[in-house]
Amino acid sequence: MFYGLTNCPATFQAIMNNILIFGGQTKEHRHTIVEWVLDILHKHQLYLKAEKCMFRQSMVEYLGLILSEGCIEMDPSRWPAFVIV
């Protein structure tokens, strides 16, 4: 493997581990957004495993945060309790 491709597996893994789609007020709008993202992945010959995908989640844990509609919170299980003295 020549130097230009040494980080390809790590780059590919980083791309595929971080696909978050959030938004869409109506069912049709959400479906259109997901379809658009899947079409782009297909165009670039990137495929997803269905068993690793989650759709229509009301809450997602990501990078030590809990993301939900209109709210971003710290994940209490990942951060120690703060003590006020």
Cα–chain-centroid distance for residue 5?
Answer: 25
| pTM higher than 0.85 | no
Is 64 within 8 Å of 79 (Cβ atoms)?
yes
* Span 45-77, pLDDT tens digits: 888 888 888 888 888 888 888 888 888 998 888
What lies within 8 Å, CB to CB, of 78 at 6+ separation is: 64
* Span 1-50, pLDDT tens digits: 445 667 677 777 776 677 888 776 777 877 888 889 889 989 988 888 88
* Per-domain residue ranges of the chain: 3-56
pLDDT at 64: 83
Is 22 within 8 Å of 67 (Cβ atoms)?
yes
Amino acid code (one letter) for 85: V
pLDDT at 39: 93
* First-to-final CA distance of the chain: 56
